[in-house]
Amino acid sequence: MGAEIVALAGGVGAARFLSGLAEVVEPERLTIIGNTGDDMEWNGFSISPDLDTVAYTLAGLADENRGWGLRNETYHCLDGMSRYGMESWFKLGDHDLATHCFRTELLRQGVLLSEVTRRICAALGVRPRLLPATDDRLRTRVDTSEGLLDFQDYFVRRACQPEVRGIVLEGTDTARPAPGVLEAIHSAAAVIVCPSNPLISIGPILAVPGIRDALRECSGGRPVAAISPIVGGRALKGPADRMMRGLGLRPAAAAAAELYRDFVNVFVLDCVDAPEKPEVEALRMKVIITNTVMKDQAARVSLARAVISQLGGGLGL
Amino acid sequence: MGAEIVALAGGVGAARFLSGLAEVVEPERLTIIGNTGDDMEWNGFSISPDLDTVAYTLAGLADENRGWGLRNETYHCLDGMSRYGMESWFKLGDHDLATHCFRTELLRQGVLLSEVTRRICAALGVRPRLLPATDDRLRTRVDTSEGLLDFQDYFVRRACQPEVRGIVLEGTDTARPAPGVLEAIHSAAAVIVCPSNPLISIGPILAVPGIRDALRECSGGRPVAAISPIVGGRALKGPADRMMRGLGLRPAAAAAAELYRDFVNVFVLDCVDAPEKPEVEALRMKVIITNTVMKDQAARVSLARAVISQLGGGLGL
């Protein structure tokens, strides 16, 4: 087995890249640090959408067409909850619900989220190690034209329609990295920031005290790569482009790179963004130009291979 | 609208009789006092099996063939919970789960079980008033050859196989009748004890301080009828006969009648038990002999009609 690779991951975009990466390197070499800023309590359940999206995708159980949840899902319990007047805007499937029952029950017993996540992954046959960035409560809220909204309220219930004015990360003062997170970064041969929303997927991970510092230190001698979440001025998935605009940023690959300038030293641009290469290089990043649009599993593997092959012989490929 | 009729109810047998009764008298005249001794917390859910069986049956949603749960049920969440190593011996369907999510969430918010039950019935279109005997914690445990077991552990998980040595009702010292229970008995024109297990369905209701006294008082001037839960020496549903034997009682209709001797003044025997009439009459009960086996809805209606017609003109039929 070669050296460890650490990946920072949000939801769908990250999960797709990681399913390619897990074909290119031995899955057991991967440690994935997942976003918990999207987590929520809903109808009594503790839900961790990004962790689940990564786990389900790596287990080969995800509904790839839809981008979230499980394949062959049914919604009978949700229908029933709706009949009782409970909230039903979050599309909780019957199979998926089992994960939330399990998590909710264990958390209530005092088991840490990182241990719950480990057990979920073990049960589903997920081979990479998936760690939440923190076991502590961290919540992303979105300051919008309709007020300060919980993330899923903005993202799912309101379908990202409200204009974004700011991002509020609650809990970052006191959150501590989950067990294994800093250790994994310290000993990593390379770090990859997946193509996820830099503001609300990667941002909450970086906001956990200690993680960004560890990445900065890592980038002093080892490759810390990021795959652009913006292609041709747009996010392939989700509202990253609109959010960036709302915060006064250009929705451009180079602008995303700039958000990572203090700890990323390799930036992966999509071919259509090749003209931005000089701008990214000015941030002291090595630039890789390749096709980053992952329309199928072959494209995911191809992207993963392109990234890994550029990160140097230290990875033992 | 005529005077109020109060029914004491366990699970399946009671639910079937009540669905007949609700065709014979205006459903709004019925107040059903339900057993909560079978309630349990399981995989994080607060489950009230008997209340749900009554509500589902009266809503026309019950799986009549199976005797419990909802029709056209699926078990996807349960399959998932099993995959995570959670307990899966209680057959929790996806539609059914919505009821438990709703109840669990409301109880956690501090809403009383009686109010939760009212909302469930309203959402399902149940017209009779269904009250839990108590809002306080009451739990039936069964002392068996395999130790002291929680009721559902004995009943479902172990399929009533262990030999029964005793019944332990936990919480009866401090349980108070739910709001409306004593008032309903005090103002009832008649009370009917449904054909339910006298030990573990009706017993816990009677054990709530105040309820048995109210019934005794009622029986001084008004009909308090019980339908035999034993037919031909056997329980039609459930383990009543075996439990009675385990406790040193004869599994006979007259022995069941004796358990109610202090507050029941009308006892309904099945035709096959007509020979027991003198024995029941010796308990100072008026005896009605009719067919009590409810093989279909017509039989339920017929039984309800036979009972109501004998309870006197005061019922306004």
Summarize pLDDT for B181-195 with one digit per residue, the tens. Answer: 999 999 999 999 999
| Residues of chain B neighbouring A81 (CB-CB closer than 8 A) | 98, 101-102
Q: What is the pLDDT of residue B134?
A: 98
**Which residue type does B86 have?**
M
**pLDDT band, residue B198 (cuts 50/70/90):** very high
Name the residue facing B77 among A84, A98, A104 (closest C-beta).
A98
Whole-prediction pTM: 0.92
Q: What is the pLDDT of residue A1?
A: 46
Closest by CA position to A257, among listed A292, A221, A282, A294: A282
- pLDDT value at A317 more than 60: no
Closest by CA position to B60, among listed B246, B297, B237: B297
DSSP chain A: ----EEEEE-SHHHHHHHHHHHHHS-GGGEEEEE--TT-EEETTEEE-HHHHHHHHHHTT-B-TTTSSSBTT---HHHHHHHHTT----S---HHHHHHHHHHHHHHHTT--HHHHHHHHHHHHT--SEEEESBSS--EEEEEETTEEEEHHIIIIITTT-SPEEEEEEETTTT--BPTTHHHHHHH-SEEEE-SS-IIIIIHHHHTSTTHHHHHHHHHTTS-EEEE-SEETTEESSSSHHHHHHHTT--SSHHHHHHHTTTT--EEEEEGGGGGGHHHHHTTT-EEEEE-----SHHHHHHHHHHHHHHS-GGG--
Q: What are the phi and psi torsion angles at A282 (to 5°)?
A: -65, -20
CA dist., res. A239 & res. A164, Å (int): 10
Shortest CA gap A113–chain B (Å): 15
CA dist., res. A295 & res. B36, Å (int): 54
Closest residue of A to B42, CA-based? Answer: A105
Q: What is the pLDDT of residue A313?
A: 54
Task: Indicate the SS3 state at residue B256.
Answer: helix
Task: Indicate the SS3 state at residue B67.
Answer: coil
- pLDDT value at B156 more than 50: yes
| Residues of chain B neighbouring A109 (CB-CB closer than 8 A) | none
pLDDT in tens, A28-80: 999 999 999 999 999 999 999 999 999 999 999 999 888 789 999 999 999 99
Q: What is the pLDDT of residue A65?
A: 83
Q: What is the pLDDT of residue B102?
A: 98
Average pLDDT on B278-302 reads 96
Average pLDDT on A152-167 reads 90
Q: How far does Cα B232 stand from its chain's mean position? A: 21
Q: What is the pLDDT of residue B150?
A: 92
| Residues of chain B neighbouring A97 (CB-CB closer than 8 A) | 77, 80, 94, 97
Residues 6 or more apart from A119 whose CB is under 8 A from it?
A102, A106, B84, B85
pLDDT in tens, B246-281: 899 999 999 999 999 999 999 999 999 999 999 999
Interface residues of B toward A, Cβ cutoff 8 Å, are: 43-45, 74, 76-81, 83-86, 93-99, 101-102, 104-105, 108, 119-120, 123-124
| Residues of chain B neighbouring A94 (CB-CB closer than 8 A) | 74, 76-77, 80, 94, 97
- pLDDT value at B316 more than 60: no
Shortest CA gap A84–chain B (Å): 6
- pLDDT value at B317 more than 80: no
CA dist., res. B71 & res. B61, Å (int): 6
**pLDDT band, residue A237 (cuts 50/70/90):** confident
The number of C-beta contacts closer than 8 angstroms across A and B is 101
Q: What are the phi and psi torsion angles at B171 (to 5°)?
A: 100, 0
Average confidence score pLDDT of chain B: 94
Average pLDDT on A102-116 reads 98
Task: Indicate the SS3 state at residue B233.
Answer: coil
Average pLDDT on A213-240 reads 94
Cβ contact, residue pair A76, B78, below 8 Å:
no
- pLDDT value at B120 more than 80: yes
- pLDDT value at A314 more than 60: no
The structure tokens listed for A309 are 């092959």
- pLDDT value at A281 more than 70: yes
Mutation pick from B46, B102, B120 vs chain A, by most beta carbons of A within 10 Å, is: B102
CA dist., res. A45 & res. B281, Å (int): 55
CA dist., res. A304 & res. A276, Å (int): 21
In this prediction the ipTM stands at: 0.91
Average confidence score pLDDT of chain A: 94
pLDDT in tens, B216-239: 999 999 999 999 999 999 998 788
- pLDDT value at B315 more than 90: no
Give the bridge partners for A266, in sequence order: A225, A286
Q: What is the pLDDT of residue B1?
A: 46
- pLDDT value at B88 more than 80: yes
